[in-house]
Amino acid sequence: MLVQFANWVQGELACSPALAKIVGILLAAVPLATVFALCFAFTTWLERKGLARIQNRIGPNRVGPFGLFQPIADGIKMITKEDIVPRSSDHFFHLIAPLLVLVSSMACLAFIPFGLGMTMSPIDTAVVFFFAILGMNTLAVFLAGWASRNKYSLLGGMRAVAQMVSYEIPLVLSAVTVVMMVGSLDTREIVGAQVVEGWATSENSGLRFLGQIAGWHVFTPWGFAGFIIFFIAALAETNRSPFDLPEAESEIIAGYVTEYSGFKFALFFLGEYIGAFAVLGLAITLFLGGWNGPNFQPWWSSDPHALLIPGFVWFFFKMFVLMAVLIWIRGTLPRLRVDQLMSFAWKFLLPLALVNVFVAGFLFHVAKEDRVWASVAAFVFLYLVAKGLSRMNQSDAPAPRKYHFAE
């Protein structure tokens, strides 16, 4: 709808191409910013409620029905709060850092196809651009830690750099498998490749239904392993539990956001969630079929490409499911230690991701015919590799112990 509206406006403004371009960008950017700001608000509510239920509490229930207006109340509180800047901090960078986090996260969203024709910046090298811009996040976080002039902030900033740089490699490597298999860096093409064409446009409604799922990359051995690696690395990349070391509240207070208050803190908060949306959005695009989902032929249309449920509904549904998983993980797991975190990245995820790339190449080039057997073999192989790697890393494998009693 929005797209059609945008096209119509651009058509009307065709007389002056420059103006049309600016209006076009605005028309794409404004809904993006609004929608994701709303998503952010809803996610904070969801997170608070979900965590509360996991912890046997009720959660916010005073502001609005089910506490739904709690994010608004929080927002008002954040905006009206005093903005405290430490006297000895680097004021300019202290101000810039939260903006940079938000901007880089927001920019990443531009490459995600939310629905058919709903990619804000449809370029051929979207995946590369995505990772390039995501890398800016690291810089911003370190800037915040450095500029605050606080030892905890500095520790948090350094942890963030170490962690994000290490986890970016398995993240990219697992994305590489998809790029290899699809043969394109364009996110739209990657989504398109996950539809089984023959089924999706067939007359049989059952096949049509399945056609939208069966091609998801997550159902292939390399895709499955890739998705798990990608997901774990995404947790670390977005500083979510159990990899939330840069802001580990039990060790370094709040890490790099220790010295932030008021609206700047809210920006960090917002930026982090938007970053999480972006990375999850990429995960959906790469492995979970993007905006495709089980769908039906609308009764009013005979167009084989027409869908009953619009694509963006599927996309946001998937995003919130993944978000819920993040919340669930956050409610359950304790945090890793710095050295364990790093060794997990370098000694486990990275080799596994590399092996996964080889497996993907093998399947793509060698075992084209015997697909089923090759797939099973690849699954088993990947599992064995993962297990072997974990064995190798922990020479004195921690295990539950038996205890004896003295009478």
Partner 1 sequence: MDLLGSGIFKGMAVTLKNFAMTYFDRGRKERLPTVQYPEAGDTVTLFTRNFPFLIYDGEEEVDGMRCVACQICERECPPACIYIVKEKDENGKFVKRPKVFDIDVSVCMGCQICVEVCPFDAIVMDSEFEYSKEDRFGDLLFNRDELLKSNDYYHKIHPEEAQARDANLAAKKAADEAKKKAREEKAAAAAAAKAAAEKEASEKKDSPEASEPVAEEPKAEPAAPSENHAKAESEAKEKPAAEETPVEEPAAATDETEDAKEESSGGSEGKETSEEPEETAGSGEDDEKKAEEGEGVS
Partner 2 sequence: MTMESSVVAGSEPTVEPRGFELIEREGLETNLLEVSMGPHHPSTHGVFRMDVKLDGETVTELRPVFGYLHRNHEKLAEDMGYLGSMPFTDRLDYFCSMTNNWAYALAGEKMIDLEVPERAEYVRVIMAELTRLVNHIMLVGFFVNDLGALGTPLLYALREREKILDLFEWASGARMMCNYMRFGGLRNDLPEGWLTKCREVVDAFPYFLDEYEKLLVENEIILVRTQNVGVLKPELAINAGITGPMLRASGVNYDLRKVDAYGVYDRFPFRVPMGEVGDCYDRFMVRILEMRESIKILRQAMDELPEGPIMGEAPRVFKPPAGEIYGRIEGPKGELGFYLVSDGTAKPYRYRVRPPSLVNLTVLEDLCLGHKVADAVVILGSVDIVLGEVDR
Q: Which stretch binds partner 1 (CB under 8 A): 49-57, 129-137, 205-213, 283-291?
A: 49-57
Residue from 30, 84, 321, 333 touching partner 1 (CB under 8 A): that is 333
> Which residue, 127 or 252, has its beta carbon nearer to partner 2?
252
Question: Is the distance from CB of 204 to CB of 225 less than 8 angstroms?
Answer: no
From residue 44, alpha-carbon distances to 39, 52, 97, 278, 320 in Å are 9, 12, 22, 16, 12
Q: Residue 140 phi/psi, 5° resolution?
A: -60, -40
> Which residue, 93 or 346, has its beta carbon nearer to partner 1?
346
Count of residues that interact with partner 1, criterion CB under 8 A: 17
Residue 77 C-beta: closest distance to partner 1, Å: 21
Residue 111 C-beta: closest distance to partner 1, Å: 31
* 299 contact, one of partner 1, partner 2, none, CB 5-8 Å limit per kind: none
Residue from 25, 35, 37, 54 touching partner 1 (CB under 8 A): that is 54
Residue 58 C-beta: closest distance to partner 1, Å: 5
Count of Cβ atoms closer than 10 Å to residue 220 Cβ: 23
Give burial (CB, 10 Å; 0-12/13-18/19+) of 240.
buried
Please give the structure tokens belonging to residue 195. Answer: 């539809």
Cα(20)–Cα(7) distance, rounded to whole angstroms? 10
Cα(395)–Cα(240) distance, rounded to whole angstroms? 28
Cα(329)–Cα(273) distance, rounded to whole angstroms? 16
Residue 135 lies near partner 1 (rule: CB under 8 A) = no
* 387 contact, one of partner 2, partner 1, none, CB 5-8 Å limit per kind: partner 1
Q: Which stretch binds partner 1 (CB under 8 A): 146-154, 156-164, 282-290, 383-391?
A: 383-391
212: CB partners within 8 A, 6+ apart: 195, 200, 289, 292, 293, 294, 295
Residue 343 lies near partner 1 (rule: CB under 8 A) = no
> Which residue, 57 or 371, has its beta carbon nearer to partner 1?
57
- Compose the 56-95 pattern: x for residues touching partner 1 by CB under 8 A, - for all others: xxx-------------------------------------
Residue 390 lies near partner 1 (rule: CB under 8 A) = yes
312: CB partners within 8 A, 6+ apart: 114, 115, 118, 291
> Which residue, 202 or 261, has its beta carbon nearer to partner 2?
261
Residue 50 lies near partner 1 (rule: CB under 8 A) = yes
Which residues of this protein are in contact with partner 2, per CB under 8 A?
A: 51, 54-57, 151-152, 155, 241-242, 244-245, 248-253, 330-340, 394, 396, 398-401, 403-407
């995820």: which residue's tokens? Answer: 349
Of 245, 235, 216, residue with least CA distance to 325: 235
Question: Is the distance from CB of 148 to CB of 256 less than 8 angstroms?
Answer: yes
Residue 336 lies near partner 1 (rule: CB under 8 A) = no
Question: Which residues of the chain form contacts with partner 1 (CB under 8 A)?
Answer: 50, 53-58, 328-329, 331-333, 386-387, 390, 397, 399
